[in-house]
Structure 1
């Protein structure tokens, strides 16, 4: 099996015939005994009316249920024998360019018009302009005509520009056929610009360039200077082409990146897959969609997009569309009739076929495209245990040194996802190195998953202003737990115009009395007619208590009206494989060393596996330090300390008195 991003025509005219010969030989003599299909979980059927070369578009469910890189994909002929194949994924450069038959230029006082004789009846994706100018900005109108006399407006107010290293010189036609095109550039606000060429971009046949994907925007969240979007793609292992945004904001220029889960330093985190820019110049009355090239394969069903806003307000984002590239299966068969696709083998290696050496020359063959039945369970599938090679248990553990434990009930064997709740986050260490999963007094190896996701934390707000200081506004913020590792504190105010400095403090008790620590000093300003943005305060360190103090000096102004206070924390999950039965999660051991498991070697498979979420039971105190610890706790201050100290002094005086010699009689 071999995958290519773009199949290029061969420079040697004999290579296509050699490739066809190799594939024909593989199909006729390279097949061996019928394949044992019981190790594959899913199967799909399609029927061919004639033997020969076939180009099959893999359905989304086939792509979704296959392993990364299609390592488990197998193709069977009507006799159940394995057929060699090649995977073809068209690349971003698949679009075909064509020079028009004729170009006529007309200059007026207010516009530059190009009348283009296309010379083709093929569907057109776009018309592309070429200019030697370094910097310009124009508004364009695009029209189409079948005869050069009757014109239909395709688009108006389209930006054509080159500014600050970015450019947009292409006007979309959306697979429209036209004998004539007319591009009119508005020159009323700036001097005419020289254009050296006009090129037609032919639409790729059968959606080979990019197919619209029924993706769903499941979550949007605003952070400090950043918008986070989460989209459900509907399937895994999709080769993505682009994201298209419909944005109402009239002008903008924002950095954007796409991230996916990946393994880093033994932990699952986010990896940047694509980075670019969304921009629209200041042209009135235009809001065309903006595209962001992706050009990577998303192994997860979720796509995370991050838009950097800086000090600008978030974009007015109306709609997001995702485009994917098709995945073609190219093969040759000597038999007509029912063929079978097998997917869902948990551990088989990718196949190696002779024909892959000539994959770039296979598109020269004449290909057909049969329909494929929906994915169905293989009735003969002998299901192995999920991640059967991953160890279920590790070294034994004596949990007596751990302070807290939580019960986890597993109904069946499998791969699980356990998310830490607020009590667990509050009582574990900052580095999470004291987390242990235990079953039958042996550790269960786990992988720490820290996705770029945040959970909200409820905050109870109480006004605590002092009548002796009327210019000060004070609030007490009460959290559900003490010692929480919060990530942000978000404030919302209804006051229309203000300029304040807010102070966030925490009162930490100690043996010498309470100590007030300033956590953040943040300016907050809202000018007239500006959008009411929230204030987000980053909290880089773990809190010590469950109560925070927020204050600001209003001066001679009206008191700041604080409407809402929200907090959030980073999501932390444990990924593991275990047998059915009771499991205990232990945490709260400051002296424990971080665990090291061989499971890290199987991290990619564990991340990609289907996981069942499991809840945590109520928190229990796992360790009782007994009376010595309680006495030591009492000795740390107060009346008990002085009583015990006095008792020790009296005992020492009695011992000294006994050791002294008795006085002599006189």
Structure 2
């Protein structure tokens, strides 16, 4: 057995598949898809490629399998930057309240920002109160004397009956330091208000009994925005005629086979009034037990004091996933008339520097084992300094299937093979040690027996 032991180990070790090294040379046949770049390229010039929806759908999350190859098979470094044109980060200021005046049906608050501040585009009222409905008139001033009306909005909370609340007042970016907020009770008969009147297909969803009362405000916050920049550019994937099923609880359930990342999901609905809680989940396999929670929010549409209020989208930043599940809580209401859904994500552009004059390049993707590349170019071309570079746009051809592509063993399969081989090696080692111990014990016993026998 000793003669067979070492050769057996050698044979088993050769069965373990080699790890895919980071420095291995890649070719088109290592990828399921490729698209050729169009144009004449000059050495050391910067170029940019819009990563289209077709590229996004066929690549892996984070574009881990995306490689830019020259005609000679050289891997060309690149960097991917989102087209969101970020300005300064959003900043929140606490306003100092300088005056307060109260009347029977209104209250006026005067407040000011810190001396050094950026323009703000919203004021948020921080309050723990529930079940209120006020008209808010916001004015701004540079000196605290001459005032200009900036916005007239409704602030409200109906959370004891429906999941609706708004304490934010939006307006165009303002450099004013002083702000005056007048809160007025919405007029109706008696001490109570019928806040919302909603009727649809014979069902009454009205919100009643919102009591008139003074609103206790803990603080006021001024918030800046990114509107000083161009804003983000989005790519989209639209789903029409989406199948909707009802689960046992009467919730509307929608399954989307998306294969794209997401920043926002928008609903196209024909219903005149609604307010529904929505849960968003994701999965890469699609089995019922594989979905994980991504976001919870509310979509609504109604008329409040003659003004239309609507939110038909959910903000939910997500990496690329194969499936998304949307669950809409209907409670006792009829299902919404869903006409379509739109997934949006910030457009991604790839930047690279040409290696040679007149070289041909291909963008290849669709490889299950490659890791996300780490190129040093990302240290020199960044979102912050991109405006100082001039990049020439490059068009791509159609994304085509490589006939010579041979799938590499997946990392999961390699791991299983390695585990199996190592298990067999351990079993052989244990058996070998057991056999050796057995021989050793027998030898010792035999020697003891030999010493105990009398000389004859």
TM bucket by the smaller chain? 0.5 to 0.7
220, 231, 247: which one pairs with 1:196?
Answer: 220
Matches within 5 A, 1:368-407: 368=389, 370-377=392-399, 382-384=402-404, 387=407
Q: Distance in 2 between matches of 1:159 and 1:46?
A: 55
Q: Distance in 2 between matches of 1:255 and 1:323?
A: 17
User: Please, which runs of 5 or more residues in structure 1 have no aligned partner?
Assistant: 1-31, 391-597, 603-666
Instruction: Indicate conservation of the 8 Å contact 1:262/1:269, yes or no.
Output: no
Instruction: Indicate conservation of the 8 Å contact 1:261/1:269, yes or no.
Output: no
| Bigger relative CO (Cα 8 Å, ≥ 6 apart) | 2
Following superposition, the deviation at residue 204 of structure 1 comes to 8.0
Following superposition, the deviation at residue 37 of structure 1 comes to 3.7
1:353 match: secondary structure:
coil
Structure 1 pair 178–353 and aligned structure 2 pair: CA distance change class (3 A): same
1:43 matched to 2:35: yes
Structure 1 pair 49–309 and aligned structure 2 pair: CA distance change class (3 A): farther
TM-score by length of 2: 0.55
What is aligned with 1:271? 291
Matches within 5 A, 1:402-417: none
128, 133, 136: which one pairs with 1:133?
Answer: 128
Following superposition, the deviation at residue 129 of structure 1 comes to 0.9
Matches within 5 A, 1:56-135: 57-76=50-69, 81-88=74-81, 96-98=89-91, 109=103, 110=106, 112=108, 127-133=122-128, 135=130
Q: Distance in 2 between matches of 1:82 and 1:297?
A: 25
What is aligned with 1:227? 252
Following superposition, the deviation at residue 227 of structure 1 comes to 0.8
Structure 1 pair 60–158 and aligned structure 2 pair: CA distance change class (3 A): farther
Following superposition, the deviation at residue 74 of structure 1 comes to 1.4
**What CA deviation, in whole Å up to 9, does each residue of 1:58-99 have, x standing for no partner?**
2222212323442331124698742223445699x9982146
Q: Distance in 1 between matches of 2:235 and 2:137?
A: 24
What is aligned with 1:324? 345
Q: Distance in 2 between matches of 1:245 and 1:66?
A: 26
Structure 1 pair 130–338 and aligned structure 2 pair: CA distance change class (3 A): farther
364, 367, 387: which one pairs with 1:343?
Answer: 364
Q: Distance in 2 between matches of 1:338 and 1:150?
A: 61
Q: Distance in 2 between matches of 1:85 and 1:207?
A: 24
Q: Distance in 1 between matches of 2:226 and 2:314?
A: 20
What is aligned with 2:200? none
1:61 match: secondary structure:
helix
**What CA deviation, in whole Å up to 9, does each residue of 1:296-343 have, x standing for no partner?**
22433x643111223344346676543323334355567787774512
User: Please, which runs of 5 or more residues in structure 2 have no aligned partner?
Assistant: 1-22, 187-211, 418-456
Instruction: Indicate conservation of the 8 Å contact 1:111/1:187, yes or no.
Output: no
1:296 match: secondary structure:
strand
Structure 1 pair 66–319 and aligned structure 2 pair: CA distance change class (3 A): closer
TM-score by length of 1: 0.40
Instruction: Indicate conservation of the 8 Å contact 2:70/2:359, yes or no.
Output: yes
1:373 match: secondary structure:
strand
Matches within 5 A, 1:240-639: 240-245=262-267, 248=271, 250=273, 252=275, 254-262=277-285, 270-278=290-298, 283=304, 285=306, 286-300=308-322, 303-315=324-336, 320-329=341-350, 340-347=361-368, 349-350=370-371, 352-353=373-374, 355=376, 362-367=382-387, 368=389, 370-377=392-399, 382-384=402-404, 387=407
Q: Distance in 1 between matches of 2:393 and 2:341?
A: 29
Q: Distance in 1 between matches of 2:340 and 2:182?
A: 28
Instruction: Indicate conservation of the 8 Å contact 1:279/1:290, yes or no.
Output: yes
Q: Distance in 2 between matches of 1:56 and 1:34?
A: 23
Structure 1 pair 332–166 and aligned structure 2 pair: CA distance change class (3 A): farther
2:309 match: secondary structure:
coil
Q: Distance in 1 between matches of 2:47 and 2:356?
A: 12
Structure 1 pair 65–310 and aligned structure 2 pair: CA distance change class (3 A): same
Q: Distance in 1 between matches of 2:110 and 2:163?
A: 25
**What CA deviation, in whole Å up to 9, does each residue of 1:628-648 have, x standing for no partner?**
xxxxxxxxxxxxxxxxxxxxx
Q: Distance in 2 between matches of 1:197 and 1:217?
A: 41
RMSD: 5.5
What is aligned with 2:14? none
Instruction: Indicate conservation of the 8 Å contact 1:88/1:328, yes or no.
Output: yes
Q: Distance in 2 between matches of 1:87 and 1:229?
A: 32
**What CA deviation, in whole Å up to 9, does each residue of 1:480-518 have, x standing for no partner?**
xxxxxxxxxxxxxxxxxxxxxxxxxxxxxxxxxxxxxxx
Q: Distance in 2 between matches of 1:33 and 1:138?
A: 66
1:96 match: secondary structure:
coil
Give the length in aligned residue pairs.
347
Instruction: Indicate conservation of the 8 Å contact 1:239/1:326, yes or no.
Output: no
1:63 match: secondary structure:
helix
Instruction: Indicate conservation of the 8 Å contact 2:267/2:342, yes or no.
Output: yes
